[in-house]
Chains A and B, each alone.
Chain A
Amino acid sequence: MLQGWIIVAASFAYIGLLFAIAWYGDKRAEQGRSVIANPWIYSLSLAVYATAWTFYGSVGRAASDGVGFLPIYLGPTLMLVLWWFVVRKMIRIAKANRITSLADFVASRYGKSALLGGLVTVVAVVGIVPYISLQLKAISGSFNLLMQYPRTVVPARAGAETFLQDTAFYVALILALFTIAFGTRKLDAAERHEGMVAAVAFESIVKLVAFLAVGIYVTYGMFDGFADVFARAAARPELRDLMTPFTNAARHADWSWMTLLSMLAIVCLPRQFQVAVIENVDEKHLARAVWLFPLYMLLINLFVLPIAFGGLLHFAGTRVDADTFVLTLPMSQHREGLALLVFLGGLSAATGMVIVETIALSTMVCNDLVMPVLLRLTHYNFRERKDFPALLLDIRRGAIVTILMLGYLYFVVAGDAYALVSTGLISFAAAAQFGPVLLGGLYWKGATRAGALAGLSGGFAVWAYTALLPAVAKSGWAATDLLANGPRGIEWLKPTQLFGLHISDPTSHAMLWSMIVNVGLYVGVSVFSRAGTIEAAQAAHFVDAYTETAEPGPAWHGAKSVEALQAVVARFLGAGRSAELFAAYAKSRGHADAAALAADADLVRFAELQLAGTIGAASARTMVATARDADALRHRAGDEASQVIAYSHQLEEKQRELEAATAGLRAANERLQELDRLKDDFISTVTHELRTPLTSIRAFSEILHDNPQLDEAERHRFLGLVIKESERLTRLINQVLDLAKLESGVAEWHTEEIDLAEIVREAENATAPLFRSKSIAVETVVGEVPPRVMADRDRLMQVMLNLLSNAVKFCPERGGRVQVRVVRAGAEARVDVRDNGPGISPEHQKVIFEKFRQVGDTLTQKPAGSGLGLTICSQIIGHFGGRLWVRSAPGHGSEFSFALPAVVAVPRAAASA
């Protein structure tokens, strides 16, 4: 027998268990060993989405609507696909700005607007109240039902009953106390409520287990499996309709609207924002939630239809409310244990929702509604108060009690008008009003504060008229003829048939009109209004959250002292915590202590951020402004002005950076154009150089071909010229290719330690016949220490051969003399090749190392060679870290020299040791 005290004791024991889990979670968090830092807990905490509405209401909906309960779960499943993009961005932003709530988020995005934050809070509180009432109704209803055991029908509430005899009132009160204990133990809202999340995750397991248990019991215990339940339901004509999803076109539209509605709700509901964004520990957890959460949704919906059909079949002809089937089915079978488990599951679903939602709302009420008003109204006296932490907690506690009492009030006023699901949908439609400002703010920089205010208030007004008003009116608290005939009998203003539009489902109707007004005003007003400076900065900051690294928020410019800032933070977080934070900040900036800090824009931003975690962005801004006020009263009205100045400073700096970057780019561009021109010149010159020998080869080939009568000597001379020019052509091509290889860096180098004197001797041996043929005397001098260098043997040989053959080329026909010297000069090994030719004028000395620049030994004749030799030599010597140069004077011969870093001589003994 289920006795009353067992139910009460079980309820309190369960709540006690939750509290223990929460306490343990907080304890672990304080020790830095978070229990919620894993993706499973995160995903389970998201399941706070499944409330008493899901637990009891889905079956009720399915009993009247068949699969119509499904869109509410399809929407989030669809939305989860986008989470990785949308919610991850929100998490980034929320962490960077220490966002404390949905209202704070929206206010921050639109220029830290206190007005907008307040509006969001009002919409959220008013919108969510029906939802909370739904939970109260479910808990008290299931409690009352269980108390009637074994009866399965609760007598209608007697009108005379006072609230003191109403279970729902006590439920609200107990939940308020419980939430206060859970959520307002400490102050910094941005330091997450780890214990609460752990408890919510646990509750998600309990409600799932309970629902699956009753589902399995009904399907397999009372019936013979799915097939049996469906077959029996199909046999009843009145149930067969429920099994066909879309009976007409209007149903399609309803499905679409419901899906869209729940897609928005899973992001916009304050409690979902709280667990998904604010309480998130690690954005990587999202990846797991993306499939785990839909799986949870699937499991908890698996048995909805069997239970609904089972209930309809079992209770056919009785007055049992379909919303209670989950509980009444096991009760009717005298399964007391199962019934108690179901009750606890429902309790889990409801309390989880109420706790998270109320904490989220109370933070919003405190930070975005009460604080801004207090800071404004009671100006100086209030701002100078020292007991802020206690005051803030009191405000939040008051807000929690107020919100729950509002929920109870709604339950009393309109609780009976609709079934559970319909009541919940009213709240969904209210939360959906945040969709445009929230999502638009993430992706559209052009969205302005004015647009957000207009869109949100417009959408909210339409929602209140088309969704909230009918619910209240239906309960008899407002004139019902308003619903039937429209205000003052104006037909087209009927709340449920606005402009004569007939949509069977009131939520779809409300969604359609409120979204048209909301989005229309949001976009329209945004397009036609201008964003202020802070607003524009915040917009960019939010929209570019993925690409931005540093927080560029509005900088302050004006007199403030570090002490003043620290004092402001201390007023809210306590002197100890404030000193700690400032010391840590100083350390991160490389200072020994906070006294060494400069009160610059960064520090102001830091102070503002710390406060934002406690009192929200808009209030934080106001409070930090007072720090400056105290310092320099003359700046009192300078809030905006000082920021404008700071901005213009930033702009100037940015402009300077831009100018520097532009100059750099211009120089780079000029350099590129120059290189391009050089390349064109090079190609044109190469072409010219190739055409010259080709011209001779072709000409003599034709002459030889066309003139068979040529005498042998002439024929021989012409053929010799063809051969010589062919060789020249070959050499030229080889050198061009060689140079291309050197310049593009693809040349292969075999660097080794080389005795320079040895290379010189080899080169002289190779060119000896050339010297002999021209009767040029060669004289070689090698220093005492033969210098050794790191180089490629073949390449160095190439350089030597080139210099020697150049020397031969320019020596006079008679009495030519070439001197070669190999010496160690300081850290360098040097080779000089000196000829007694005509010498090179200073202006020519500059250009001979360039490509194709040759200087003739006589003014009428070009020297043989491609004009690439010295360029190639330069490249080779340069590659080994050396240099190549010439010293010469007209009439006094030329001396080409190159120097390479010498290898430091290591004594043999040391080397072998």
Chain B
Amino acid sequence: MSERRVLIAEDEESILASLEFVVRAAGHEVRLARDGEQALAALREFRPDLVLLDLMLPRRSGLEVCAAVRADPALVATKVLMLTARGGSNDITRGLAAGADAYMVKPFSTRELGERVRAMLGS
């Protein structure tokens, strides 16, 4: 299993830590972003294969970041896994419409998250 790049954008410190642990445990390279601006910057510079994206980020929302991924020709292969604490179908629709590949509702299972990451990275 080759090492892939994963960007984690999440403003809740403790959730960020848990996500980081799970992705690192799977053997991937991790970059952390604590708001939308940091995430956008990391997209350009880090060129992740997968973005774990919180929907409600400060400064720039997860939807904006997602749209930026889809708009960047260099990131055609990048997958987006949207995370949100709101389970409403409206949020899910908006997330998927913005180009997210998958969706997970908080609180999620770390085991399922690991599986999703593995599947989405095709490893």
Contacts and interface: CB of A to CB of B under 8 A. Distances in A.
B108 A695 contact: yes
B110 A706 contact: yes
18 contacts: A692-B12, A692-B85, A693-B14, A695-B85, A696-B14, A696-B15, A696-B18, A697-B107, A698-B108, A698-B109, A699-B15, A700-B18, A703-B18, A703-B21, A703-B22, A721-B17, A859-B59, A861-B34
B18 A860 contact: no
Interface stretch (A260-268, A574-582, A683-691): A683-691
Q: Is the contact region of chain A dominated by helix, strand, or loop, or is it mixed? A: helix
B38 interface: yes
Contacts of B88: 684
A706 B25 CA distance: 11
Given A688-B85, A696-B15, A856 B106 contact: no
Contacts of B111: 702, 706
Contacts of A860: 11, 34-35, 38, 58-59
B59 A695 contact: no
Interface string B45-59: 000000000001011
Interface in B51-102: 56, 58-59, 85-86, 88
Interface in A804-818: none
A397 to B, nearest CB: 89
A776 to B, nearest CB: 22
Contacts of B108: 695, 698-699
Interface of B: 11-15, 17-19, 21-22, 25, 34-35, 38, 56, 58-59, 85-86, 88, 106-111
A715 to B, nearest CB: 12
A725 interface: yes
Q: Which of B17, B18, B19 has the most CB of A within 10 A?
A: B18
A908 interface: no
B18 A692 contact: no
A589 interface: no
A862 B15 contact: no
Interface size class on chain A is 20 to 34
A702 B113 CA distance: 11
A844 to B, nearest CB: 13
Contact of B12 (A696, A707, A856): A696
Given A684-B88, A692-B12, A702 B35 contact: no
Contact of A687 (B13, B22, B35, B86): B86
A694 interface: yes
A724 interface: yes
Contacts of A702: 109-111
A431 B121 CA distance: 100
A699 B18 contact: yes
A325 B18 CA distance: 114
A687 B87 CA distance: 10
Nearest to A696: B14
A432 B22 CA distance: 96
Given A860-B38, A861-B34, A692 B110 contact: no
Nearest to A690: B85
Nearest to B56: A688
Contact of A862 (B17, B21, B58, B106): B58
A725 B14 contact: yes
B10 to A, nearest CB: 10
Given A699-B107, A860-B34, A692 B86 contact: no
